Amino acid sequence: MRYRLLFVFLLFFISLIITFGLSKQTREVFFKVTDTIKIHYLEISQSLWQNYDRFLNQAKSIAFYQEKYKQYQQIELELTETKEQLKQILDFYPQLDLYSNTAFQSALVISYVDFLQYDKVWLNTKMPYQKDKIFGIIRNGYALGIAVVENGRLLGLFNGNERCSYSVYIGEKKIPATLHYYAEKKDLVLADFIPQYFNINIGDEVFTSGLDNIFIQNIPVGKVTEILDKNGYITAVVKPYADATFPEYVWLVNKDYNNARK
């Protein structure tokens, strides 16, 4: 434990020296080296913990995964049948484009970008991705934010960050809105630019719309807690479902994955 703390302290101390004392080019080289060290450290740490947990809960885990395996076999058969049905439809009407171009990529959370700012993180994924694409971020089934490529690195911007924005639907009637940060309350976000003729209620569920090509549709975002009337539009205050504290890994939504592999 003490060696781990020493490692973290030295890494933090060196990062401060490099950040404030060296040129931009030198810092970029240094960050590439330290990112590699962090990634290996986190992967080894997670692997050790998973092996330890697997050893202690082996019997329970075997029974659990046996049942899951049966379920996955059933899903695989159902997907195979669906794929064959789609193939028959495409053979009959080849102009249709029914196959999804969306990929879900796991990404390791390396570190926070800035000290004491918990809505910006550096991410790492082993799968290919475009340099000019905005990706959706999902954690535990909820929309957590977006990811962009900045200076050759994958940057995660969580809900509440001033640069995090994406399109959403509100309620069963799927009222369109744009989600962005709430300057007055960092733990909440705003669903904005809703015309006055729409009826929004406290307690309405908010989901991703997928219209901006960032997320797929119907990923839960949060719940409306307050309704504001300003500048000729309705603004809904939303409490996000996703927990941004201490994430180890997240899922990236890449809605144009075929171009990433070219």
pLDDT tens-place string over residues 162-187: 999 999 999 999 999 999 999 999 99
Give the confidence band of 2 by pLDDT, cuts at 50, 70, 90. Answer: very low
Residue 224 vs residue 128, higher pLDDT: 224
Q: Give pLDDT tens digits for 70-108.
A: 788 888 878 877 877 777 887 777 666 655 678 888 899
| Predicted pLDDT of residue 239 | 98
Among candidate residues 255, 247, 260, the one with its CA nearest the CA of residue 111: 247
Mean pLDDT across 149-155: 92
Mean pLDDT across 40-47: 68
| Predicted pLDDT of residue 73 | 80
| Predicted pLDDT of residue 59 | 66
Name the average pLDDT for the chain. 82
Mean pLDDT across 141-158: 95
Q: Give pLDDT tens digits for 246-257.
A: 888 899 999 877
| Predicted pLDDT of residue 63 | 74
Q: What percent of the chain lies above the pLDDT cut of 70?
A: 73
Q: Give me the torsion for CA of 16, 116, 151, 191, rounded to 10°.
A: -170
For the chain, the structural domain boundaries read: 2-56, 103-262
Q: Give pLDDT tens digits for 6-42.
A: 455 555 655 655 555 555 555 565 566 567 666 766 6
Does position 259 have pLDDT exceeding 70, yes or no?
Answer: no
Does position 126 have pLDDT exceeding 90, yes or no?
Answer: no
Mean pLDDT across 126-134: 89
> What are the beta bridge partners of residue 158?
145
Does position 45 have pLDDT exceeding 50, yes or no?
Answer: yes
Distance (Å, rounded) from C-alpha 30 to C-alpha 28?
5
The distance of Cα 27 from the centroid of its chain, to the nearest Å, equals 27
The pTM of the full predicted model, rounded to 2 decimals, is: 0.69
| Predicted pLDDT of residue 5 | 53
CATH superfamily, domain 103-262, is Rod shape-determining protein MreC, domain 2 (2.40.10.350)
